């Protein structure tokens, strides 16, 4: 096929004109406009848990289940509270009946082991939720990109796109993910993203009568949560997996799993 210069220029002109109409439908955004549109610049949501203040009442678990519509009686939960009982013989007994939803009213561990109160060296409660990792393994392994990290550091699941393979559940070292009993897709704690992105608190933070749970913005130097993380001795769970967890703990014991 031959093509003269005149013909080439003519076709190029036509193509340019034809393309300019649909292209003009797009608008170029300035970086500032982009930032405003996404609205996440300058925010990194983090969680602070003061285990010294937790009494294991389970209000947080109840509130979470209701707020996020996780079937109340299903044995899965976005957040849970663990009870640790360390005995004088240096044995650790752990339980979390129904995720600690109804509190810890039974002195028996898992309803079977009864620990002699005289024999207890220490006992405490540890609330758990998604660590909203900086390097989330669950996002890495999702084969369809249905789980993703928002600009402000929260990992979410697209219920319309999740194929339900369970790879993310397997990849999470903290066991925070599960299959939603109704939607039948992967589900996890979102830090109540629908609330915090509107300036409100998470359901669990709201429900905690003792201030054991707090949420904050790590990029805001004046945020009280950030101040504590910066100035006090905080720990994270399972650092060794390289996930860079962003739920910080005060008073974390070495027995905590």
Partner 1 sequence: MTQELIVHGAEWTEKLLYVYPNEYIYWSIQIVMYPYMTGLVAGAFVLSSLYHVFGQKDLREMARFSLVFSLALLPVAMMPLMLHLQQPLRGIYVMFTPHFTSAIAAFGIVFSTYAAIVLTEIWFVYREYFVQQTIALQGKEGLAHRSKRVLYHILTLGAYNTDPAAIAKDKKAVKIMAAIGIPVAGFLHGYAGFIFGSVKANALWMSPLMPVIFIMSAVVSGIALCMLTYIIIMEWKKLKATLAKGRGDESVIDIRGAEMDVISKTARYLMMFLVAAISLEILDLIFRGYTAMKSWDILRSVMFDADFFKIFILQYGLGNALPFIMLLLPGLTIRRTAVALVLVLFGVFMMRWNVVIGGQAFSLSFEGFMHYHLPIIPHDMETFKEGLFGALTVAATPFILFWGLNKILPTLTIGNR
Verify binding: residue 55, partner 1, rule CB under 8 A: no
d(CA 10, CA 126): 73
Query: Restricting to residues 66-105, which ones interact with partner 1 according to CB under 8 A?
Result: 71, 73-77, 80, 82, 92, 94-96, 98-99
Minimum CB distance to partner 1, residue 125 (Å): 14
Contact of 178 with 185, CB cutoff 8 Å: no
Contact between 257 and partner 1 by CB under 8 A: the answer reads: yes
Of residues 194, 242, 236, the one with CA closest to residue 218: 236
Neighbours of 129 (CB within 10 A): 25
Least CB distance to partner 1 at residue 8 (A): 37
Interaction between residue 108 and partner 1 (CB under 8 A): no
Phi (first) and psi of residue 91, to 5 degrees: -95, 145
* DSSP β-bridge partners for residue 187: 178
Q: Which is nearer to partner 1, 8 or 74 (CB)?
A: 74
Closest distance to partner 1 from the beta carbon of 228 (Å): 26
The correct pick among 7, 10, 110, 122 for binding partner 1 (CB under 8 A) is 110
Please, is 33 exposed, middle or buried when counting C-beta atoms within 10 Å of its C-beta (0-12, 13-18, 19+)? Answer: exposed
Q: Name which of residues 150 to 179 contact partner 1 (CB under 8 A).
A: 161-167, 169-179
- Residue the block writes with tokens 């109540």: 192
- For partner 1, the binding residue among 58, 103, 137, 245 (CB under 8 A) is 137
Q: Torsions phi, psi of 11, nearest 5?
A: -65, -40
Q: Given candidates 30, 143, 222, 233, which one binds partner 1 under the rule CB under 8 A?
A: 143
The CA distance from 48 to 175, in Å, is: 19
Q: Which of 52, 144, 239, 244 binds partner 1 (CB under 8 A)?
A: 144
- Site residue total, partner 1 (CB under 8 A): 51
- Partners of 86 in beta bridges: 92, 122
Residues in the site for partner 1, rule: CB under 8 A?
71, 73-77, 80, 82, 92, 94-96, 98-99, 110, 128, 137, 139-146, 161-167, 169-179, 181-182, 184-185, 240-242, 257
């Amino acid at each position: 096929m031959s093509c003269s210069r005149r013909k080439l220029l003519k076709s190029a002109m036509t193509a340019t004109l034809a393309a300019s109409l649909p292209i003009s439908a797009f608008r170029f955004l300035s970086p500032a406009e982009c930032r405003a549109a996404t609205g996440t610049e300058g925010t990194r949501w983090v969680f602070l848990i003061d285990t010294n203040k937790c009494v294991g009442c389970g209000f947080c678990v109840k509130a979470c289940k209701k707020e996020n519509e996780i079937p109340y009686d299903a044995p899965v939960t976005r957040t849970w509270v663990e009870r640790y009982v360390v005995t004088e013989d240096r044995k650790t007994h752990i339980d979390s009946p129904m995720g600690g939803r109804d509190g810890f009213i039974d002195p028996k561990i898992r309803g079977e082991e009864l620990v002699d109160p005289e024999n207890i060296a220490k006992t405490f409660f540890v609330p758990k939720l998604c660590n909203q990792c900086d390097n989330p393994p669950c996002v890495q392994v999702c084969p369809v990109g249905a789980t993703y990290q928002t600009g402000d550091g929260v990992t979410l699941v697209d219920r319309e796109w999740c194929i339900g393979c369970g790879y993310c559940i397997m990849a999470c070292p903290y066991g925070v993910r599960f299959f939603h009993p109704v939607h039948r897709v992967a589900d996890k704690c979102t830090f109540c993203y629908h609330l915090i992105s509107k300036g409100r608190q998470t359901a669990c933070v709201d429900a905690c009568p003792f201030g054991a749970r707090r949420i904050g913005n790590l990029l805001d130097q004046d945020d009280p949560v950030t101040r504590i993380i910066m100035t006090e001795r905080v720990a994270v769970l399972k650092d060794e997996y390289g996930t860079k967890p962003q739920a910080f703990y005060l008073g974390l014991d070495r027995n905590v799993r």
